[in-house]
Amino acid sequence: MEYRTVSTKLPSNELTLFRAHCEKKGVAPAFLVRDLILKEMKITVPSTVAGKNKITYVKSHDSFTWCVELDTGEIVEVLRNVSPTFVENLHDVVKLCLGERRTFIQKKRRDSAAIPNRILKRRE
């Protein structure tokens, strides 16, 4: 695949705001521009990788860093300088949603997994 560069001109004050926004999100400006272009064109990048979420506490900043450790060994930073309040809120929301899902699929045991309906229909 051949790559090309896309650029734009911004007034100095807008460029400063954009850089600050990227820093706050913990992403490179090029990454954000590419992401915005793909979203605008409604193009999704297919997920063709596997890995594990890693959230680490950064004591010196009283914040968290969220990374994904890919099965290839590469570590990709998702967000940095995440506040404890955000992590606590995310934890509560994920716990609530997983509880709703367990109720929906009628999961009773911790080690059980959802079974597609089409498998069960074959037994009838």
Tokens 């007034």 — which residue? 11
Structure tokens at 86: 């955000």
> In whole numbers, what is the pLDDT of the chain averaged over residues?
86
Q: pLDDT for 18-74, tens place per residue?
A: 999 998 888 889 989 988 998 888 876 556 678 899 999 999 999 999 999 988 888
C-alpha 80: how far from chain center: 12
Consecutive H or E run containing 105: none
Helix/strand/coil for 112 = coil
pLDDT at residue number 70: 86
Q: What is the DSSP string of 98-119?
A: HHHHHHHTT--STT-----HHH
Helix/strand/coil for 7 = coil
Q: pLDDT for 102-113, tens place per residue?
A: 888 888 887 887
Tokens 């992401």 — which residue? 35
pLDDT bin (cut points 50, 70, 90) of residue 94 is very high
Consecutive H or E run containing 13: helix 12-25
How many angstroms separate the CA atoms of 82 and 27, rounded?
A: 13
